[in-house]
Structure 1
Amino acid sequence: MDPVIIVGAGPVGLTLALALARQEVPSVVLDEGPGKDESRPARTVVLREDTAALLTRLSGAPLDRLGTRWTGWRSMRRKQVTREVVFDEAGEPSPLHIAQHTLTHALRAAVAAEPLVEIATDSRLDTVEQERSGVTAHTRGPNGTWWRGSHLVGCDGPRSTVRKLLDIRFPGRTAVERHAVAALRTELPWPGQALLHRTPPWRMSGPPTAEVTARPLPDGVWRLDWLLPPGKDLVTPELLVNRIRETLAGWTDGTTPPYDLLDTGVHTVHHRLARRWRAGRVFVAGDAAHLLGAFGTHGLEEGLRDVDNLAWKLAPSWHHGPHEALLDSYQTERRAVVAARLRAADQVLPLLRGGGGLRGMVPGTARGHDALLTDGHLGHGPLGAPGTYADSPLAPRHLEHEIPVDTPPGAPVTDVRVTAEDGTFVQLRSRLGRGALLVVLIAPGTGVWDRKHWVSAGVMPRLAAAVTALPHPAELLVAEEYPGAPAHSVLLVRPDGHLVTALSGVRPADLYAAAEATLGGKDPEKTQTETETEEAAEAGSRAR
């Protein structure tokens, strides 16, 4: 069987390669560059709890030591602190802030040690052809050649060649926001805490949307971002140095502390969404499929969630043949989530950046605006929270014994401690990404007894038999508790960590029906997607 062709060797493409290898699917990564990444301290990423865990699980790299876990978050308006969060309190997960070149280097190291992944450097894609049995790609460069694959995934960024070759439209808005960026080594009054400062007092004469953020990195380095006024005014070195000096002085009572400027840049945020994310055996993911990033959100996070969603759906097709409904669900689920996030940003953009109007005069509005921005930065609410797949075509319908728990169907599960089949205690999230469904029995008291005393007692033998009979490999886990789940309830979890359903007890028929729905049900002999693929291939043959 031919490998999956991945176009693009950034964090999204490398993560997809590792995720497929975890499920014994080989891949070849086409890297148009020489395989080295330029060190840019001002180009960083913020990873929420789920995406940081995904990358740590796949790469095996000590990302917590390569980046910085923030100790807290502080929101300020003028001279007042409007919100302060301490991440080791109240269960608030701490974001991980890491330089993108550091992250990419860690992923490259993991890929280099993975025998199922091949990286082809200096290989720029220029042709894609597909038919019912596979995909053929041609690259130009010193090692230009033809590549044969089972599927192809374009993870090749905003100017995606894959998207252009497929003639997929990429509508949206350009330059939604612009930020001047600097990475510098200095000391600030709140070590380890990230800061959002709106309308700082030293910028009172400037635009009403003046805003600066400070995010800590390892070794005393900080990334500072200043929201720029609308327009295309040139950001000169003199302007940037003035911004640095006035900001540092404003935060340290009028005296600019010593600093070492490491890197600068201008970050322009675009909002775009590809019309299609799948065309036959070809897919797009990450920045090739969407661009977002206003209000503290990060496009890389959504790109990582794209490939986490896609990898477990490609694996059954690679191993066992077409699962068209399952593959179609990638576009349906992920595009809907990103579209909802872009709609939310478009709705609040006039409020947060408009700088006037009736809403600006309503008491309490400023505090509400600060809360919206903070949610985006911290991964909460419509601007920042991980998406749910409640309306997924894979969601089972009409389960007789389905019950509600604190996690709605389609949402990411809570990372509780579970007992694995070998009797060890692990976190639920550590079992994700292997291609198997997870079946979790909620059984209070099992944690204090050796597994051998309860594995053959009570409902366990019946549940184990039901799990064995499922239409897809599944792992049986036991948890002492789960938020909102009564004793002896059973949870079915997808390989990417989203809840399928919760059942009241061991219900083999409902469990089987839910698992079958999660795999896309029973595909007809030929789906509409297959027909379109064949027609496209025939049209391409006639053109040649």
Structure 2
Amino acid sequence: MTAQHVPVVIVGAGPVGVTAALLLARRGVRSVLLERHQDVYPLPRAVATDDEVCRILQAAGVHEEFTAIARPARGLRLLDSRHRTMAEFSRTEQGLHGFPQTSMFDQPGLERVLRDALARTPQCDLRGGAEVTGVEQDGTGPVRVTYRDEDGEHLLRADAVLGCDGANSLTREAVGATWEDLRFEERWTVIDVRTSLPVRCWEGVDQVCDPQRPATFMRIGDDRYRWEFRLPDGAELDRARLRELLAPWVVLAHDADFEVVRQAAYTFRARIADRWRAGRIFLLGDAAHLTPPFIGQGLCAGMRDAYNLSWKLARVLQQGADERLLDTYESERKPHARHVIRMAVAMGWAMTGGQDGAAAVRRGLLGAAVRIPGLTTAVSRDLSPALTAGPLVPRRPGGAGRGLVGRFCPQPWVAGPGGRTRFDDLLGDSFAVLTVVPLPPTVQAVAAALGARTVTVSDFGDGGLLAAWMRAKRADAVLLRPDRVVLDVVPRGGGDFAARAAWGSLLHTTRIPSPSQPAAAESLLRSIAR
């Protein structure tokens, strides 16, 4: 076989794989996506996402198309066995990231939006009907990827491989990773329905906390609904059984307009891979972690993986940044993935809770806990906690930047050259420095070395939101990473990015891609790297 060299091979062209390809393409990195199916999988799977992932779709250039097919949801309710509300976790239509905090959608629709964008992107080459047969890496050389299609066997040599190939990942075997079991495994039946019948719903997600018949219900679209039940036998449901199960929500007559789009039994598991990287082979999405669906974070976690890794990989491949930068992918994403999985398991526990006497006590404690003022808001915020401290999430002496470093910058609507625009669209795809005061020369030099855009936010057409956000945390300036996480701050009263010695050595580049990073400014990071 004649080997073709490509910068990045992505195994699996689901939402995570295609999003990773689009994000890399925005930074000039070409990729080949290998997908065993010829077209988008036609049946619904993931149905919920959050505002952080909508922001990622914005970075990939498809947020407007996604918004057109998505439906904002009001949040999550916990119901008891008689469908009385025990707790409500409300979600707003404008979250920190500038989008509805929860959106419902049909996964085939999202995949079509992403595939259409991929077709318009010359840096991305999607090869359908391609079954990957091997992923091998020998020392520090390129990764060998073999695949089979209708034309025979093929070989690719890649500078990096992203394994977005799901729970049964072949790439995970190449990494040598094994599953860590986080102790949750249940068999559930998922029913997707299309109907014009009146359905009793509240435009959010209902979790029925009944140990004998736990269930989940949500409205996905104008005439689309999903029910999930944990059933003892897991058998195929006939019309009579469906009528019984769905009675609390809809009256299902014999001749009613009621189409079962899909009925499938799934085993919900909680697992995380013990390692996410081997050399230049990386695991993303379900290849790296499996999350029960009870808080709607399964797909979201994979999209966060793509966002976190793509800019770092591009900086290494395109600009010669330190290879150690790629180590921060797992160190930043793995703790968050574990945290989300545990939250999902806790929700599953609240729904099922056992059938012994202590279960009633536990459910009573849950009902009391959720009435504590501010708790439901805190739980919603906890889906996106600050990144764990590390090379790109420094902790400054004296607590400067506390509450900012490692967290996302808000995204308001702002006044741009062509009118009102979303903040990230104004910033572009690289680093950015936000300031409320004139910057000292050293900070200006760091910004230039990183190719960062400097923006004064004091008069920005956002109602003062960004300036207030910075002043509340006693910051004169903040440095944003390309994924819009705060990397460092200049504390109130002036100074410099005091932690730059920690992250400068990783971000220092050996190649200057454009005049926006002149050699004189780049020498500043080079000196830090020494």
If the length of structure 2 is used for normalisation, what is the TM-score? 0.80
Cα shift at 1:368: 5.2
What per-residue deviation string (whole Å, max 9, x for no partner) do you get for residues 142-165 of structure 1?
242111221111111111111113
Match of 2:206 in 1: 196
2:500 is aligned with 1:514: yes
Residues 72 and 243 of structure 1: CA distance in aligned 2, closer, same or farther (over 3 Å): farther
With 19-28 and 461-470 compared, the bigger mean Cα shift is at 461-470
Match of 1:97 in 2: 104
2:483 is aligned with 1:485: no
Give the aligned residue type for 1:196. Answer: D
2:47 is aligned with 1:45: yes
Which of 414, 421, 430 is 2:425 aligned to? 430
Match of 2:259 in 1: 260
Match of 1:415 in 2: 411
Is the CA contact 2:187–2:234 (under 8 Å) kept in the aligned structure 1? no
Cα shift at 1:208: 2.7
Cα shift at 1:396: 2.8
What per-residue deviation string (whole Å, max 9, x for no partner) do you get for residues 84-123 of structure 1?
5665579694411111111111111100110111112222
The DSSP-based 3-state class of the residue aligned with 1:39 is coil
Match of 2:123 in 1: 116
Is the CA contact 1:126–1:138 (under 8 Å) kept in the aligned structure 2? yes
Match of 1:537 in 2: none
Cα shift at 1:259: 2.5
2:67 is aligned with 1:64: yes
Give the aligned residue type for 2:114. Answer: L
Kindly report which structure 2 residues correspond to 1:430-469, keeping only aligned pairs within 5 A, or say none: 430=425, 434=429, 436-442=430-436, 459-460=437-438, 462=440, 466=444, 469=447
With 425-434 and 125-134 compared, the bigger mean Cα shift is at 425-434
2:85 is aligned with 1:81: yes
CA distance in structure 2 between the partners assigned to 1:129 and 1:488 by the alignment: 47
2:486 is aligned with 1:499: yes
Is the CA contact 2:207–2:216 (under 8 Å) kept in the aligned structure 1? yes
What per-residue deviation string (whole Å, max 9, x for no partner) do you get for residues 401-456 of structure 1?
9344xx44212222234556x5865333435771x1121124xxxxxxxxxxxxxx
With 283-292 and 469-478 compared, the bigger mean Cα shift is at 469-478
CA RMSD of aligned residues (A): 3.6
CA distance in structure 2 between the partners assigned to 1:192 and 1:363 by the alignment: 23
- Aligned-residue sequence identity (percent) comes to 27
Unaligned runs of 5+ in 1: 200-206, 443-458, 525-544
Cα shift at 1:329: 0.6
Unaligned runs of 5+ in 2: 458-463, 511-530
Residues 292 and 518 of structure 1: CA distance in aligned 2, closer, same or farther (over 3 Å): farther
Match of 1:395 in 2: 393
Is the CA contact 1:400–1:510 (under 8 Å) kept in the aligned structure 2? no
What per-residue deviation string (whole Å, max 9, x for no partner) do you get for residues 285-343 of structure 1?
11111111243333211000001000010011111225222100101111121123334
Match of 1:453 in 2: none
Cα shift at 1:9: 0.7
What per-residue deviation string (whole Å, max 9, x for no partner) do you get for residues 197-236 of structure 1?
525xxxxxxx63522222212231111112334xxx3322
Cα shift at 1:394: 1.9
Give the aligned residue type for 2:52. Answer: D
The DSSP-based 3-state class of the residue aligned with 1:517 is helix
Residues 51 and 433 of structure 1: CA distance in aligned 2, closer, same or farther (over 3 Å): farther
CA distance in structure 2 between the partners assigned to 1:209 and 1:149 by the alignment: 51
2:164 is aligned with 1:155: yes
Residues 269 and 415 of structure 1: CA distance in aligned 2, closer, same or farther (over 3 Å): same
CA distance in structure 1 between the partners assigned to 2:314 and 2:15 by the alignment: 20
The DSSP-based 3-state class of the residue aligned with 1:208 is coil
Residues 358 and 471 of structure 1: CA distance in aligned 2, closer, same or farther (over 3 Å): same
Is the CA contact 1:73–1:195 (under 8 Å) kept in the aligned structure 2? yes
The DSSP-based 3-state class of the residue aligned with 1:149 is strand
Residues 63 and 349 of structure 1: CA distance in aligned 2, closer, same or farther (over 3 Å): closer
Residues 113 and 350 of structure 1: CA distance in aligned 2, closer, same or farther (over 3 Å): closer
Which of 28, 34, 45 is 1:30 aligned to? 34
With 178-187 and 252-261 compared, the bigger mean Cα shift is at 252-261
The DSSP-based 3-state class of the residue aligned with 2:105 is strand
What per-residue deviation string (whole Å, max 9, x for no partner) do you get for residues 45-93 of structure 1?
2110010221244142521221322256544321423345665579694
Residues 432 and 410 of structure 1: CA distance in aligned 2, closer, same or farther (over 3 Å): farther
Residues 267 and 408 of structure 1: CA distance in aligned 2, closer, same or farther (over 3 Å): farther
Give the aligned residue type for 2:30. Answer: P
Kindly report which structure 2 residues correspond to 1:286-301, keeping only aligned pairs within 5 A, or say none: 286-301=285-300
2:313 is aligned with 1:309: no
Residues 514 and 188 of structure 1: CA distance in aligned 2, closer, same or farther (over 3 Å): farther
2:387 is aligned with 1:386: no
Is the CA contact 2:391–2:502 (under 8 Å) kept in the aligned structure 1? no
Is the CA contact 2:47–2:105 (under 8 Å) kept in the aligned structure 1? yes
2:171 is aligned with 1:167: no
Is the CA contact 1:390–1:409 (under 8 Å) kept in the aligned structure 2? no
CA distance in structure 2 between the partners assigned to 1:346 and 1:73 by the alignment: 16
Is the CA contact 1:401–1:507 (under 8 Å) kept in the aligned structure 2? no
Cα shift at 1:379: 7.4
Match of 2:149 in 1: 141
Match of 1:475 in 2: 453
Residues 192 and 340 of structure 1: CA distance in aligned 2, closer, same or farther (over 3 Å): closer
Is the CA contact 1:401–1:503 (under 8 Å) kept in the aligned structure 2? no
